[in-house]
């Protein structure tokens, strides 16, 4: 055993990656639908750190890991975050989650004078019950020690399992009826123009009179298919290739315009043919469809955009993301030029700009180093919370001239999950010895206090979301998931509320609540020091 301990202490990188591997093995263990996921890396790190006290990698490595995690979150969820700050439902959702987070933080803070626990333990419990790694990092950095990791590690399992049990109880108690939405897939129909009221109109004037959720992909006239020019004056017997994600919209359009004909347009491809390309070129990624500038002499029409498992109608405001699959109608002679324009590279959808990553991260760290005044405390700095805020702004902007701030989803997931894992492993190994000493003496009490803090968090959030703001059940589930933070909770929320609202609310709530948790931890330490 002594030789194994000595080897771990002389090979900190080996210890780090052994922690990662064993942590994910433990995290996959499923107990009645609950598993720790990446959070298990922390517990394995605590065990190895207790066994080999001098095996911890440098703290800078853990900070780098968290930086990558927060930057990836901000870049991905920037647009949803700012939308949540302005929409009526988003404001209500953020208010409910913020009240719950602050209430739980105040309860944790009040436990310091009431129970005589250390401030580090209280803030560690606050971070653990809220599964907020960023809040833990802020506490560690401000206190300049790893004491908070003990309270975090003791209460983290409660922070994962507790909200899942709470959501399960809500579902059983309320028995909400939630119909799973149908998959949004493109349907099409060829509609012959027979209505005299529409003959002689320009195509863009006709589209304003048709049902919403419909797009015209092509027009067939005198046995020839052509692109949908908005200034085209329509004639009787013109055939419109209409697309929609709702078949009822197509039927209503056919009833207004004329009748649905057999599929002649798709069987005659000498004028226009269909192809699907990957959006991977820097010329198109981060650009709205309205701003695309095709090569000289090349003309085409976008029939739809497939993002993940969802088809999107070609709206001028749609901003292309790396990895989008774009359905294009064009003459075959233009297809090679169109492929080159969009990039059409699967490999390219996993690339990211390290120039933009470096600039964004450096600017965020610089902003985080600026000390902000706070009366009575001497001031405080945002630290990595400033980096998250900047990343959210860049995620909303998407690109600035040649700089494409967004990154492909696949690359983003790998980057931030790797960063989070490295941070958890480093923190766990470094505080392993303290964890053993503290848990033996105060573990059960910290566990009890953690339950109290968690119940305040989920109880206040649910009460405001559902009883005060009257948000629908699936929306409230997303708010609770965003307030508590762990992706495993969101996965369970998607099972009990199988709509897109839990994901949407999580994207709106999680970044802002991460900032609130970080700022609360820093302010609590500043005020305690004063």
pLDDT tens across 401-449, in order?
788 888 877 788 888 888 888 887 887 888 777 666 666 666 678 788 9
Please check the confidence at residue 337 and state whether its pLDDT lies above 80.
yes
Please check the confidence at residue 268 and state whether its pLDDT lies above 90.
no
Interacting residues of 401 by C-beta distance below 8 A, sequence separation 6+: none
Which of 335, 338, 188, 337 is closest to 266 using CA atoms? 188
Which of 69, 95, 73, 100 is closest to 84 using CA atoms? 95
Per the structure block, which two tokens stand in for 362?
Answer: 């450096």
Residue 103 has what pLDDT? 96
Contact, 481 vs 503, CB < 8 A? no
- Which helix (H) or strand (E) covers residue 119, if one does? helix 119-129
Per the structure block, which two tokens stand in for 77?
Answer: 């969820």
**pTM listed for this prediction:** 0.70
Length of the chain (residues): 530
**Mean per-residue pLDDT for 160-172?**
84
Residue 4 has what pLDDT? 82
Residue 49 has what pLDDT? 84
Beta bridge partner(s), residue 225:
220
Half-sphere exposure of 479 (CA within 13 A, CB side): 32
Residue 31 has what pLDDT? 65
225: helix, coil or strand? strand
Q: Which pLDDT tens digit goes with each residue over 80-123? A: 778 777 888 889 999 999 999 999 999 999 999 998 888 988 99
Please check the confidence at residue 479 and state whether its pLDDT lies above 90.
yes
Mean confidence (pLDDT) of the chain: 83
For residue 385, give the DSSP letter: H
State residue 199 phi and psi, 5-degree precision. Answer: -70, 135
Please check the confidence at residue 148 and state whether its pLDDT lies above 80.
yes
- Which helix (H) or strand (E) covers residue 219, if one does? strand 214-221
Task: Choose the CATH number for 187-348 among 3.30.70.20, 3.30.2350.10, 3.40.50.2300, 3.30.70.1450.
Answer: 3.30.70.1450
User: Domain residues of the chain, as ranges?
Assistant: 63-178+358-423+444-529, 187-348
Residue 204 has what pLDDT? 83
Half-sphere exposure of 66 (CA within 13 A, CB side): 27
Contact, 192 vs 65, CB < 8 A? no
Residue spans of beta strands (DSSP E) within 262-417: 273-278, 300-307, 310-312, 325-330, 371-372, 380-381, 399-400, 403-404
């Amino acid at each position: 055993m002594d030789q194994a301990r000595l080897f771990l202490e002389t090979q900190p990188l080996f210890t780090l990656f052994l922690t990662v591997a064993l942590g994910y093995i433990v995290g996959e263990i499923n107990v009645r639908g609950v598993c720790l996921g990446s959070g298990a890396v922390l517990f394995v790190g605590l065990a190895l750190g207790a066994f080999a006290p001098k095996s911890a990698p440098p703290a800078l490595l853990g900070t780098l890991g968290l930086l990558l995690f927060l930057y990836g979150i901000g870049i991905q969820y920037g647009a949803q975050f700012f939308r949540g700050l302005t929409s009526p439902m988003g404001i209500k959702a953020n208010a409910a989650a913020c009240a719950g987070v602050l209430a739980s933080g105040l309860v944790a803070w009040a436990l310091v004078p009431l129970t005589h626990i250390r401030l580090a333990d209280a803030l560690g419990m606050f971070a653990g019950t809220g599964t907020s790694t960023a809040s833990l990092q802020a506490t560690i950095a401000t206190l300049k020690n790893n004491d908070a990791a003990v309270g975090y590690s003791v209460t983290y399992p409660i922070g994962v399992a507790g909200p899942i049990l709470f959501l399960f109880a809500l579902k059983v108690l309320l028995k909400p009826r939630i119909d799973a939405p149908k998959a949004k897939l493109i349907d099409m129909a060829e509609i012959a123009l027979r209505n005299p009221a529409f003959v002689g109109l320009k195509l863009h004037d006709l589209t304003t009179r048709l049902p919403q959720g419909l797009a015209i992909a092509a027009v067939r006239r005198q046995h020839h298919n052509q692109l949908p020019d908005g200034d085209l004056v329509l004639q009787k017997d013109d055939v419109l290739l209409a697309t929609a994600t709702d078949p009822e919209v197509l039927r209503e359009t056919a009833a207004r315009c004329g009748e649905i004909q057999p599929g002649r347009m798709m069987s005659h491809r000498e004028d226009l043919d269909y192809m699907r390309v990957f959006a991977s070129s820097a010329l198109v990624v981060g650009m709205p469809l309205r701003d695309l500038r095709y090569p000289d002499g090349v003309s085409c029409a976008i029939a739809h955009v497939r993002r993940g498992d969802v088809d999107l109608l070609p709206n001028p405001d749609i901003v292309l993301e790396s990895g989008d699959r774009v359905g294009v109608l064009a003459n075959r002679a233009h297809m090679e030029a169109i492929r080159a324009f969009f990039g059409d590279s699967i490999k390219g959808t996993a690339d990211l700009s390290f120039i933009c990553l470096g600039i964004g991260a450096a600017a965020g760290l610089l902003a985080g180093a600026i000390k902000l005044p706070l009366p009575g405390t001497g001031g405080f700095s945002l630290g990595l919370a400033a980096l998250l805020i900047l990343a959210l702004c860049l995620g909303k902007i998407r690109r600035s001239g040649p700089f494409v701030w967004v990154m492909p989803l696949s690359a983003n997931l790998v980057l931030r999950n790797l960063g989070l894992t490295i941070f958890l492993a480093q923190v766990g190994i470094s505080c392993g010895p303290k964890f053993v000493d503290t848990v033996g003496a105060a573990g059960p009490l910290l566990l009890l206090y953690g339950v109290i803090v968690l119940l305040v968090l989920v109880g206040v959030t649910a009460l405001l979301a559902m009883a005060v703001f009257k948000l629908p059940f699936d929306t409230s589930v997303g708010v609770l998931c965003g307030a508590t933070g762990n992706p495993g909770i969101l996965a369970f929320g998607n099972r009990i509320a199988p709509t897109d609202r839990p994901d949407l609310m999580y994207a709106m709530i999680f970044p802002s609540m991460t900032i609130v948790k970080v700022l609360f931890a820093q302010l609590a330490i500043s005020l305690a020091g004063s």
